């Protein structure tokens, strides 16, 4: 259990070396992006804060994204690193309203990795791509010396088409918007943790690892004017809402009694001292929609098997930009701030 929790996340101070918490999706990661990659002149030409960049291509719009996957263990209840790499990049594309089309895959392999394990991962990626309706069209392989990596790392990049008329961005969030979540939170992080640490819960927890394309398309098909979307990966629900509130310049008020957390995840978090609002998901998203369309949006989400537990969990309020607060079961209020790092590292 010594490596179980990353509770010793360093405070958001200046560091002369990279810390594990710099990759956790919290305050230190945001600081790293702002002070290194976006420091003038920015290393990134496209500095919009979104899960993917939307760029013009003639008269059309193209969404581009890239992500790397370093999860340990590589196989966990409900998924594996290959499936995670495909779903994760597809989900980053659909969070900007795009329809995913193509993926690339880069593999960093450590000398000694079992060939059979690599075959299993590639087969899983192939099946996940088929399920998502995307094509893996190019790739790269590098092999490093034994001990120089952790077996297998994967980078996937994706491209998708943004249909005309879609504008999904944190800047569109407005006070009064309803905040929806597509399902119960925290399953992926607890599922990975259970295998990593050899924990056995009374009710086994499966990762929620899944593609979000059908849920997003269901919202648009129902005519919902989706203002913003974000998948709740590193840092979980609370971190995703903090990012959207900061980038959208708004405040968000959550209702604790409305946030769906299944009994097994709730029990595991209570036992381990974790807050399920900060535990990673890999098949959940939040959606900001106009209040008058909230019920239509919920019906659209619940009409798909991946969204049956969708819920309205809060609303956007007037207030300081970036403030996310929680009305507790007892009627009090609690600030949900960005963590410095992450409760559970290496979960995606």
Same domain flag for 180 and 145: no
- Please list the alpha-helical segments (H only) found in 197-256: 213-221, 236-248
Dig out the tokens for 266 from the structure.
Answer: 């709730």
% of residues, the chain, pLDDT over 90: 79
pLDDT digits (tens, 9 = 90+) for 295-321: 999 999 999 999 999 999 999 998 899
Instruction: Give the DSSP letter of residue 281.
Output: -
67 within some domain: yes
pLDDT at 46: 62
Q: How many residues does the chain have?
A: 348
Instruction: Give the integer Cα–Cα distance in Å for 115 and 239.
Output: 37
Asked if 200 and 326 sit in the same domain, the reply is yes
Domain final residue pick, 103, 128, 162: 162
User: At 198, phi and psi to the nearest 5?
Assistant: 65, 35
The confidence band for 8, taking pLDDT boundaries of 50, 70 and 90, is very low
Return the higher-pLDDT residue of 234 and 257.
Answer: 257
Degrees to nearest 5, angle at CA 301 with 101 and 158: 20
Look at the block and give the residue holding tokens 């000694």: 112
Radius of gyration of the chain (CA): 19
Residue 58 phi, psi dihedral angles, 5° rounding? 65, -125
Mean pLDDT (the chain) is 92
* Domain containing residue 266: 170-335
What local confidence, expressed as pLDDT, does residue 68 receive? 96
Among 8-12, 97-101, 146-150, 275-279, name the one with the lowest average pLDDT: 8-12
pLDDT in tens, 105-133: 999 999 999 999 999 999 999 999 999 99
Handedness of CA 16, 22, 26, 30 (dihedral sign): positive
Helices (H), 10-144: 27-32, 81-94, 115-132
Do 157 and 175 reside in the same domain of the chain?
no
pLDDT at 171: 93
CATH of the domain at 113: 3.30.1330.10
Those residues with Cβ within 8 angstroms of residue 54's Cβ, 6 or more apart along the chain or in another chain: 48, 61, 62, 63, 96, 98, 162
Q: What is the mean pLDDT of residues 282-302?
A: 98
The predicted model gives 77-101 an average pLDDT of 98
The burial class, CB within 10 Å (0-12 / 13-18 / 19+), for 331 is exposed
Average pLDDT over residues 48-70: 92
**Whole-number Å distance between alpha carbons of 73 and 225:** 39
Q: pLDDT tens for residues 9-26?
A: 445 557 889 888 887 778
**Shared-domain flag, residues 151 and 182:** no
Question: Could you give the CA distance from residue 235 to residue 93 in angstroms, rounded to a whole number?
Answer: 19
- 268 and 146 assigned to the same domain: no
CATH number at residue 228: 3.90.650.10
The verdict on pTM exceeding 0.85 is yes
229 is a domain residue: yes
The verdict on residue 311 lying in a domain is: yes
Closest alpha carbon to 247 in 89, 30, 17:
30
Q: What is the pLDDT of residues 38-57, one digit of tens each?
A: 887 777 766 567 889 999 99
Q: 57 to each of 60, 61, 346, how far by Cα in Å?
A: 5, 5, 35
Query: Per-residue b/e over 273-308, b at no fewer than 16 CB within 10 Å?
Result: ebebbbbbbbbbbbbbbbeebbeebbebbbeeebbe
What's the total number of domains in the chain? 2
The residue behind tokens 């969070």 is 95
Closest CA to 150 of 196, 113, 119: 113
Q: What separation, in Å, do the N-terminal and C-terminal C-alpha atoms of the chain show? A: 20
338: Cβ contacts below 8 Å, ≥ 6 apart: 26, 27, 30, 235, 238, 239, 242
């Amino acid at each position: 259990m010594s490596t179980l929790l990353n509770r010793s996340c360093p405070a958001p101070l200046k560091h002369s070396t990279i810390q594990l918490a710099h990759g956790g999706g919290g305050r230190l990661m945001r600081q790293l992006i702002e002070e290194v990659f976006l420091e003038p002149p920015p290393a990134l030409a496209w500095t919009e804060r979104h899960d993917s960049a939307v760029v013009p291509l003639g008269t059309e719009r193209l969404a581009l994204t890239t992500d790397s996957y370093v999860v340990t263990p590589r196989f966990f209840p409900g998924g594996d690193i290959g499936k995670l790499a495909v779903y994760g990049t597809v989900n980053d594309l659909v969070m900007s309203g795009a329809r995913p089309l193509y993926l690339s895959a880069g593999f960093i392999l450590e000398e000694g990795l079992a060939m059979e394990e690599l075959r299993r991962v590639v087969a899983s990626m192939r099946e996940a791509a088929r399920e998502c309706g995307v094509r893996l069209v190019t790739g790269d392989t590098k092999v490093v010396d034994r001990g120089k990596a952790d077996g297998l790392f994967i980078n996937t990049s994706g491209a998708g088409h943004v249909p005309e008329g879609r504008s999904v961005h944190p800047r569109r969030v407005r006070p009064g918007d309803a905040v929806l979540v597509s399902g119960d939170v925290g399953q992926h992080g607890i599922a990975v943790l259970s295998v990593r640490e050899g924990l056995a819960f009374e009710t086994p927890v499966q990762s929620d690892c899944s593609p979000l394309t059908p849920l997003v398309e269901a919202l648009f098909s129902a005519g919902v004017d989706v203002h913003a979307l974000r998948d709740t990966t590193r840092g979980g629900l609370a971190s995703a809402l903090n990012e959207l509130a900061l980038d959208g310049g708004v405040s968000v008020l959550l209702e604790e009694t409305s946030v769906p957390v299944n009994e097994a995840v709730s029990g595991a978090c209570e036992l381990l001292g974790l807050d399920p609002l900060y535990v990673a998901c890999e098949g959940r998203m939040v959606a900001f929609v106009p209040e008058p369309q909230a019920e239509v949006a919920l019906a659209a989400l619940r009409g798909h098997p991946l969204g049956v537990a969708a819920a309205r969990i809060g609303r956007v309020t007037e207030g300081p930009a970036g403030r996310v607060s929680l009305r507790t079961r007892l009627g009090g209020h609690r600030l949900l701030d960005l963590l410095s790092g992450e409760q559970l590292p290496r979960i995606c």
